[in-house]
Structure 1
Amino acid sequence: MKKSLIFGFVWAQDGFVRLFTHSVHTHKVLLGPGIEPFRWLLGRWRAWRTFELAAKSVPAYRAFLAERGSAPTLRPGKDLARAYAAIPEMDKDSYIKRWSIPERSLGGKLPRRGVVVDESSGSSGTPTSWVRGRDERLATRQLLQVGFTRTANGLPKQPFVLNAFSLGAWATGMNVTTSLTEATMIKSIGPDRNKIIATMKEFGPGYTYIILSYPPFLKALFDDDRIDWSAYDIVAAFGGEGISENMRNHILRFAHTAFGSYGASDLEINIAIETDYTVELRRAIAADPELAARITRQGEYGVLPMVFQFNPYDYLIETNEEGELVITIVRKQNINPRIRYNIHDRGHVMRLRHLTPILKELGHQNVIDEQFLDLPVLFHYGRSDLSVDYNGAVVAPDALRDVIYADENLLGAIENHRLISFEDADGDRQLHIALQLTEAATASGTLDEAGYRPKVIAELRRANGDFNNAILTAPDGTLPTIAFYGYRTGPFQRDGAKLKNEYAWQLTADEIGLWDVNLDDSCTR
């Protein structure tokens, strides 16, 4: 088929979608089973069309491409995937920070009406503003409502959403509120345990409370004994970071459902979602080393990936040579296009046509039986730029999280965790593993810290072969250290000042001296 004919069909189809997808029910049809190859191919053509539009109409993107040589072209007979892979990646440093928001917008200016500005904190804590036009907000709203409607239809009571994401200008909380207001009863509270508990007591147990927040907040909320959780019907939904399956099981003691969503303020808040299928698949991966080896990079990263499904008609997700996700929002209506945007997360994509035969071969029919959507699967291993290097090995905070959450005593006693990489006075790179106790665990002093220090190290070594080898070959005086800290002490004394938890630090020798860090407890070879 000629390129012009394909683009003509894409543009006509876009018009159809815009005309008829104001209905959530119509949007469900576009996510229905049986048209997976159609969605996959069309999404790639839409991505190329959006690239050409941005290259023509966005001043910053024209300059960005000019710096990197001529823009790729799609010639007759040239493979679309190969042509698209030739487009240079962008990220926050190489693109977002270098040009103003109008320069990054279609036509070099922002529309006069219909633009909403939100912001993200970023890992540094410095806010970055993001602009979203009417059409892209409509698309986000529709996707959130589709997921919510499917959940709400199976609930025994009237749903009542408690939005406990951070509010104000922050992207997630703001977009959740605007997206779900038309679909349900909602109260936007923010991450405030007192207000959530007070609201539930005021309205009583006659509702199904759908509580949305970050995983650490949900854990702290459900550990609060000021309310009888068993008297309430609860659904938990989380975003912002992953969880272990043990943490999910902990949450499921209080909520009958616990699903996560993958997104980013840099892009959109709901790019991919967990489903019954992906949760069952993730549990199968955790239990079956052969399955994990066949379909994941768990052995390389030492982390059980979060598993999501996404719509390739809306997002083109690739993996670069460094194992990082490169994402394109393929809709041409976005006023600030992001083309092959490197979010600096580790991950990869697998289509069901490739995954299902492996599941059948290894006897995981129970996973196949949970399939509802024939959407591709996204494996996500956490942020690449928050991992730390130790003697040639990559150690991820998510791996430490999984170790903590796998043990019931640690799960209840640990408030936060952090990997601290620093250079000592001799110029050697050191790794310190810091674990912050909860207020209750600090006060009780009952956790067997001496017994758990070697256990945590041993589990990290077991999960990550590269880390184990790094310890075996580490120079004398550079073995990792590990310590427990009382609540809001040592390297955690400033916790709570930023929007999100910090899980990794790269420090200098002078900076490490600013913190009361206990470096006496080392691991052994």
Structure 2
Amino acid sequence: MAKWYYDVFPTLFIDKLSNKISNYNMTYNFLKSVDPELLESISEKKVMKVFKDSVKHIPAYTKFLNKHGIKGKDIKNIRMFDSIIPVTDKHNYVFKYSLLDRTRNKTLPKQSLIVESSGSSTKLPTNWFRTLEEEEDVQKDIEFESKYLFKEKEYIVISSWSLGAWTTSLSFCYHFEKLGVVKNIGPDVNQIVQTLKMMGPKFNYIIGGYPPFVKHLIDVGKLNWKKYNIDLIVGGESFVPGWRKYMKGKLKRGSKIVSVYGASDLEPGLAVETPLSQYVRELFIKNPKKVNELFGTDELPLFFQYNPLRFYIKNITETKEFHTTVLTKGHVGCKVKYNVKDLGGRLKYNDLIEMMSVNFKEFNKKYHQKFKDISIKLPFLWVAGRSDSVISLDGVNMFPQQIEMALLKNKKVYNNIQSFQTSKVFYHDGGHHFQISIELQDGFKPNKNFAKEVKETVKVNLGKINKAYKLGLKDFPACYEPYVKLYEFRKGPFNNKKIKNKYLTN
């Protein structure tokens, strides 16, 4: 169908139609057969509506535009919006303007308002406000995605996200309470194991949490994991290619592991892995050189699909980041062209299919046999971690994922590591050096032999993954040889476990 025809669809009609499609089968049949260009066109119309509303009702956003010499009324179409409107972020918008200035008509709702805190992979935690109307819209998406990925199974859902006002913990439990029994335990290995033993292996379970804690749970939890029907939902950060295989090897055959992508600044449930997106990543795992060739980064991304009726996403070419405008109804404040500083970008559904067909000879046949008729025709989002989590030494970039991949090559070492941090440290010789701080599993004590084994594991395997590091190590070993510091579980820089892991320290 021609694009011009899509442009005549009124947004009011579109909103009413999307509200009507609440039945899973209706939604699925629509999404597997729709022309992806129709969804893109609707997304463009909705983002203009959100932009105009923000200009009219959000004082801080009007001030932000004025600061850049822009009058909102002058932006007439999506082309102008994409090319002229500046990108917002935590520093130039959230921290610059007061809370009330960033709210609709400088007023907070008197009821049905949820206040959450984001964890600090940047500096201090930040408070975010969500309305019940907004959360209900998100819940509809998650209900559909859960049925699409896990079918009609009945689940006991266990949340291991950090307790308290942290965004993911509150949202995860709220979004899943309509789908099954939910127990909000938090990151407590003993309590989770005790719950599983009490309920027994006859039920289906979903455990949600950050990848490092979920690994820790399965590694040290005293339970016969292979007897239980456990699927995992992980998020908050990426994981290395071998991590999924490592975890599946410890769980019952057939267990599913699904990664979700979200951001406290935007919404926790922004995008989700699908069978097709997982297959796309598998092909890049087998052909790692294609990652840099096609995406311009050495960091292997995770691939997700997202709902363009709730998010308008565009790429920031210069920094290989992306900005997002939230289209969900009921916002207290605006989230227009917001950059969360993650490496990544979006691809239209048809563009990704074409890219994969051209670059991977096995893709076309598999796609037509297994995915074409059943996949949901939503755009893709690739994410390769935070753009500010890279350590750079003498021009060589090293990513947390690459270091974890190096550690994973030695199962004995990896099994005893809970988490790690990297830093560029200044030593007495006047130079910068590469340091890795290791948090050990609970009960494992630091010792010189293990530190030496970690050092050799990183040197050998990181050099195989990152060719620039290998050359740097050869030419300037004093700078590139890792300084390894071991810490007992939750000691030293790892003593605050309320939030997700931090991989880069000053």
Instruction: Say yes or no: TM over 0.5.
Output: yes
Q: How does 1:55-66 map to 2 (within 5 A)?
A: 55-66=55-66
User: Equivalent residue of 2:193, what SS?
Assistant: helix
Amino acid at match of 2:400: P
Q: 2:200 & 2:455 partners in 1: Cα distance?
A: 43
Conserved? CA contact 2:43–2:311, under 8 Å: yes
Q: Distance in 1 between matches of 2:431 and 2:79?
A: 43
| 1:285 is the counterpart of 2:284 | yes
| Higher mean C-alpha displacement, 405-414 vs 450-459 | 450-459
- How many Å separate the matches in 2 of 1:213 and 1:7? 43
What's the secondary structure of 2:220's corresponding residue?
A: coil
In structure 2, distance between residues paired with 1:453 and 1:126: 32
Aligned length: 494
- Equivalent residue number for residue 505 of structure 2: 505
Cα offset, 1:496, TM superposition = 3.6
Alpha-carbon distance in structure 2 between the residues aligned to 1:397 and 1:140: 30
1:83 Cα shift?
Answer: 3.5
Kindly indicate whether the alpha-carbon contact (under 8 Å) linking 2:159 and 2:184 is maintained by their aligned counterparts in 1. Answer: yes
Alpha-carbon distance between aligned partners in 2 of 1:406 and 1:366, rounded to the nearest angstrom: 29
Q: Per-residue CA shift, 1:405-453, capped at 9, x if unaligned?
A: 343223212221111123445764332123333245437x697643542
Distance 1:2 1:366, change over 3 A: closer
Q: Distance in 2 between matches of 1:446 and 1:209?
A: 40
* Structure 2 segments unaligned to the other structure (5+ residues): none
> 1:235–1:332: structure 2 CA closer, same or farther, 3 Å change rule?
closer
User: CA, structure 1 residues 71+397, in 2 after alignment: closer, same or farther (shift >3 Å)?
Assistant: farther
In the TM superposition, what whole-angstrom CA distance separates every residue of 1:110-158 from its partner, at most 9, and x where no partner exists? 2222211111122256321111113211111111111222344254xx3
C-alpha spacing 1:144/1:203, structure 2 compared with 1 (3 Å): same
Partner of 1:128: 126
Q: Deviations over 1:445-484 (max 9, x none)?
A: 697643542341343333334444555665x853443315
Give the superposition deviation at 1:386.
2.1
The whole-number CA distance in structure 2 between the counterparts of 1:367 and 1:7 is: 32
**Counterpart AA for 1:243:** F
- How far off is 1:36 after superposition? 0.8
- 1:326 aligned to which of 319, 323, 326: 323
- Tell me what 2:197 maps to: 201
For residues 455 and 220 of structure 1, do their structure 2 counterparts lie closer, same or farther at Cα, with a shift above 3 Å needed? closer
* Contact 1:244–1:402 (CA under 8 A) maintained in structure 2: yes
Shift in alpha-carbon separation, 1:291–1:500, aligned structure 2, 3 A: closer
Q: What is the correspondence of 1:38-437 to structure 2 with a 5 Å cutoff?
A: 38-71=38-71, 80-81=78-79, 83-124=81-122, 126-153=124-151, 155=153, 158-253=154-249, 254-255=251-252, 256-289=255-288, 291-297=290-296, 300=297, 302-320=298-316, 321-361=318-358, 362-364=361-363, 365-366=365-366, 369-370=370-371, 372-424=375-427, 428-437=431-440
1:62 Cα shift?
A: 0.6
CA distance in 1, matches of 2:387, 2:455: 26
Pairwise CA distance, 1:73: 6.2
Deviation, 1:333, is 3.2
Q: Separation in 2 of the partners of 1:493 and 1:357?
A: 45
Closer/same/farther in 2, CA of residues 56 and 427 from structure 1, 3 Å limit: farther
Provide Cα deviations, 1:49-79, integer angstroms capped at 9, x if missing partner. 2112111210010111111111466777x7x
SS in 1 for 2:392: strand
Aligned to 2:462: 460
> Is residue 72–residue 86 contact of structure 1 (8 Å, CA) maintained in 2?
no
Provide the rounded CA distance (Å) in 2 between the counterparts of 1:2 and 1:70: 29
| Identity score, percent | 23
Q: Is the 8 A contact 2:341 2:388 kept in 1?
A: yes
Distance in 2 (alpha carbons) for counterparts of 1:93 and 1:145: 34
CA RMSD of aligned residues (A): 2.9
Mark the CA change 1:25 to 1:102 in structure 2 (over 3 Å): closer, same or farther: farther
Q: Offset of 1:366 from its aligned partner?
A: 3.0
Distance 1:352 1:2, change over 3 A: closer
Read off the aligned partner of 2:87 and give its amino acid letter: E
1:478 alignment partner, SS class: helix
Shift, 1:355, TM fit: 2.5
Find out whether 1:487 has 2:488 as its counterpart.
yes
Give the counterpart letter for 1:213 in structure 2: G
Q: Distance in 2 between matches of 1:68 and 1:7?
A: 32
Q: Distance in 2 between matches of 1:182 and 1:323?
A: 37
Measured against aligned partners, the alpha-carbon deviations of 1:222-264 in whole angstroms (never above 9, x if no partner) come to: 1235222122111111011111221111221215111110001
CA distance in 2, matches of 1:367, 1:447: 48
Q: How far apart in 1 are the matches of 2:307 and 2:221? A: 40
1:523 maps to none
Contact 2:322 2:339 in 1 (8 A): yes
The one-character-per-residue Cα deviations of 1:186-228 (angstroms, maximum 9, x if unpaired) are: 1111111111111111111120111111111111111235222
TM-score (norm 1): 0.86
**Cα gap change, 1:21 to 1:73, in 2 (>3 Å):** same
Q: Name the CA distance, whole Å, in 1 between partners of 2:196 and 2:390.
A: 38
Given that 2:284 and 2:290 are in contact with CA atoms closer than 8 Å, whether structure 1 keeps it comes out as yes
Residues 339, 427 of structure 1: CA spacing in aligned structure 2 closer, same or farther, 3 A cutoff? farther
2:183 is paired with a residue of what secondary structure?
A: strand
Deviation at residue 168 of structure 1 after TM alignment:
2.1
